[in-house]
Amino acid sequence: MKISSSCIFTDIPTELPEELCQTLLTKPNVRIERIVSKGHCSAEHDWYDQNQDEWVLLLQGRARLAFTNADSIELNPGDYLLIPAHCKHRVDWTSPDTETVWLAIHLFAAEA
Amino acid sequence: MKISSSCIFTDIPTELPEELCQTLLTKPNVRIERIVSKGHCSAEHDWYDQNQDEWVLLLQGRARLAFTNADSIELNPGDYLLIPAHCKHRVDWTSPDTETVWLAIHLFAAEA
């Protein structure tokens, strides 16, 4: 089998009218995504409430996540965190000046 | 629950007599690791032969992976690849001049 690599910072469209979300790998219980934002954020009262844990690593750009307990977290390149299942959160802000590239790893609970 | 982030580029020891491998997250079927190399590589005939798929993303530095079919892959920041289970490979070279930071996601097969 021929093994090859890809670069996570390439193939970003010049125009990003909407946030770009692409699945890089799907396995049982795991989905690895690249998300590219440029000034995009969640609507004001639009909270993500996910059934699965999500591990997030900011690779490029800048972003801010907000949580329902009024906490917010600023993210710079290299910052990572685990967002537990059902921890409501929204993307409060992403840099309008540059593409913000996220790695998101969705961790689905193993079936009982 | 208080959510906080960490930075994957910090807390790197000044001296790295051996490659540094740290588990960032363990979940059923998944282990997320940070690996820091600085000139480290596998011994010449020491091939990794893993039972699980491994998804690798190079975050900083430079590295070269070798495979038993004589292919080799140069990795620069942002480069990622999937190394399938039992695809024998070794780390052929990492930059001696800077810390190379890898994200490694081990994907264990779900139990039947």
Contact A7 B103 (CB under 8 A): no
pLDDT higher than threshold 80 for residue A39: yes
State which CATH number among 2.60.40.10, 2.20.25.10, 2.60.120.10, 3.30.413.10 fits the domain covering A21-107: 2.60.120.10
Residues of B in contact with A77 (CB under 8 A): 9
B18 Cα to chain A: minimum distance (Å) = 22
If residue B105 lies in a helix (H) or strand (E), which one and from where to where? Answer: strand B100-107
- pTM over cut 0.90: yes
pLDDT-derived band at A111 (thresholds 50, 70, 90) equals low
Report the SS3 class of residue A56: strand
pLDDT higher than threshold 80 for residue A68: yes
Residues of A in contact with B71 (CB under 8 A): 2-3
Rounded to the nearest integer, the mean pLDDT of chain B is 94
B105 Cα to chain A: minimum distance (Å) = 10
Predicted ipTM of the assembly: 0.94
Residues of A in contact with B73 (CB under 8 A): 3-5
Residues of B in contact with A33 (CB under 8 A): none
Which two structure tokens, joined as six digits, stand for A93? 């802000």
How many residue pairs from chains A and B have C-beta atoms closer than 8 A?
106
A75 in contact with chain B, both atoms CB, cutoff 8 A: yes
Distance CA B55, CA A25 (A): 9
pLDDT higher than threshold 80 for residue B110: no
For residues A12 and A2, which has the higher predicted lDDT (pLDDT)? A12
pLDDT of residue B45: 87
pLDDT higher than threshold 90 for residue A40: yes
Q: pLDDT tens digits for B52-105?
A: 999 999 999 999 999 998 899 999 999 999 999 999 999 999 999 999 999 999
B63 in contact with chain A, both atoms CB, cutoff 8 A: no
A110 in contact with chain B, both atoms CB, cutoff 8 A: yes
Residues B38-46 have a mean pLDDT of: 92
Nearest C-alpha neighbor of B2 from the set A70, A30, A42? A70
Distance CA B51, CA B85 (A): 5
Which member of B3, B27, B55 has the closest CB to residue A107?
B27
Which member of B8, B57, B89 has the closest CB to residue A8?
B57
